């Protein structure tokens, strides 16, 4: 993912708390005050900017800084947000920014000053900037993903409910963009009855940064009936005796929806080390 810099023009403690929590959402991120910006930060491709609209002089200082470094900012993608709900009173700021950086202002909005809203905004921005990554074509990426999943057999799965969110290592079978897991009924199956959203992690042991390989999978899960052909086929593939074990095991079928794949090989091929695939 491209490196992201969060700039802010208000260093009050309460504001910094929100900025800091927002930064945790991004993998490669740094936070600085707008007054501390310098040429040393020019290698950041994405700028997420917080402006406190009530500080007119600070906004003018920011715009002067933007104009001073305009040749560098013209090459960046800018996202600007504020906690001031009177955004329409400050359209001159937006128009000035767009004029200076040739309309590279991607997003400009008000956010309710709540942790939940800030996190929601951060996740949306993260999804949007993933599109700026150097991406493999979809067909090639899916081949990498399927090869990685097929060559392994254990994943850590996570389900959640109001009262619990266990993470459990478990064996799986992969076939045609579906993952099948089987186990004795436990809390993860109980949670699945309440919400069919599920996530899985599959990864190799870490040795060094040149051999990183791991993925996070988001999907939708369904509990399979013991009377179905799919249930019997899963037990058969794992050499489980259906007569002695079928009453003890449950099977969950997971439709893969999104894969976030970290693989050092991608960088060697000239692409971003993290690739994202939506199904």
Interaxial angle between packed helices 91-100 and 56-68, expressed in degrees from 0 to 180 and rounded to the nearest 10: 10
- How far is the C-alpha of 61 from the C-alpha of 55, rounded, in Å? 10
> According to the model, what pLDDT value does residue 227 have?
80
Interaxial angle between packed helices 13-23 and 115-129, expressed in degrees from 0 to 180 and rounded to the nearest 10: 40
The DSSP code sequence of 252-277 is EEEEEEEEEEEEHHHHHTTS-SEEEE
- How far is the C-alpha of 47 from the C-alpha of 40, rounded, in Å? 14
The β-bridge relationship of strands 105-110 and 154-158 is unpaired
- How far is the C-alpha of 175 from the C-alpha of 16, rounded, in Å? 47
Q: Is 244 exposed, middle or buried (0-12, 13-18, 19+ CB in 10 A)?
A: exposed
Domain limits, the chain: 4-132, 138-278
pTM over 0.75: no
> What size, in residues, is the chain?
279
User: Minimal CA–CA distance to 249: which of 171, 182, 187, 156?
Assistant: 182
> What are the Cα distances from residue 257, in Å, to 79, 81, 135, 141, 220?
27, 30, 18, 14, 7
The DSSP code sequence of 37-95 is --GGGTT--EEEEE--TT-HHHHHHHHHHHHHTHHHHTTSEEEEEES-S-GGGGHHHHH
Confirm if 181 and 175 have CB atoms less than 8 A apart. no
**pLDDT tens, residue order, the chain (279 aa):** 568 999 999 878 788 999 999 999 997 799 999 999 999 998 898 999 999 988 888 888 999 999 999 998 988 999 999 998 887 778 888 888 888 887 789 999 999 999 999 999 999 999 888 878 788 999 999 999 999 999 999 999 887 777 767 778 888 999 888 999 877 655 555 555 567 889 999 999 988 888 899 999 999 988 888 788 888 888 778 777 665 555 667 788 999 999 999 999 998 999 989 999 999
Assign 127 to helix, strand or coil. Answer: helix
Confirm if 275 and 266 have CB atoms less than 8 A apart. yes
Q: Specify the CATH number for 138-278; select among 2.30.110.10, 3.30.360.10, 3.40.50.10140, 3.50.50.100.
A: 2.30.110.10
The β-bridge relationship of strands 178-183 and 197-203 is unpaired
Vertex 77 angle, CA 81 and 278, to 5°: 95
Which residues have CB under 8 Å from 86's CB, separation 6+? 53
DSSP 233: H
Which residues have CB under 8 Å from 279's CB, separation 6+? 177, 255, 256, 257, 258, 259
- How far is the C-alpha of 180 from the C-alpha of 167, rounded, in Å? 16
Question: Domain 4-132 falls in which CATH fold?
Answer: Rossmann fold (3.40.50)
């Amino acid at each position: 993912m491209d490196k992201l810099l969060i700039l802010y023009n208000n260093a009050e403690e309460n504001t910094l708390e929100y900025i800091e929590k927002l930064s945790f959402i991004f993998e490669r991120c740094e936070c600085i005050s707008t007054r501390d910006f310098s040429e040393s930060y020019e290698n950041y491709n994405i700028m997420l900017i917080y402006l406190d609209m009530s500080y007119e002089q600070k906004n003018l200082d920011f715009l002067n800084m933007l104009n001073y470094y305009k040749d560098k900012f013209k090459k960046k993608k800018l996202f600007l947000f504020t906690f001031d709900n009177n955004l329409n009173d400050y359209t001159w700021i937006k128009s000035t920014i767009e004029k200076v950086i040739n309309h590279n202002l991607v997003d400009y909005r008000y956010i309710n000053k709540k942790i939940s809203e800030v996190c929601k905004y951060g996740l949306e921005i993260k999804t949007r900037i993933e599109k700026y990554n150097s991406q493999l074509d979809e067909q090639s990426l899916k081949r990498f993903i399927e090869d990685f999943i097929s060559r392994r057999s254990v994943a850590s799965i996570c389900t959640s409910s109001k009262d619990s969110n266990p993470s459990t290592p478990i064996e799986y079978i992969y076939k045609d963009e579906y993952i099948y897991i089987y186990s004795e009924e436990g809390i993860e199956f109980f949670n699945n009855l309440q919400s069919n959203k599920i996530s899985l992690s599959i990864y190799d042991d870490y040795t060094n940064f040149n051999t990183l390989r791991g993925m996070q999978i988001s999907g939708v899960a369904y509990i399979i009936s013991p009377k179905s052909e799919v249930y019997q086929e899963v037990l058969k593939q794992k050499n489980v005796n259906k007569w002695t074990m079928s009453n003890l095991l449950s099977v969950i079928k997971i439709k893969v929806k999104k894969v976030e794949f970290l693989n050092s090989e991608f960088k060697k091929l000239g692409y971003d080390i993290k690739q994202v695939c939506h199904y």
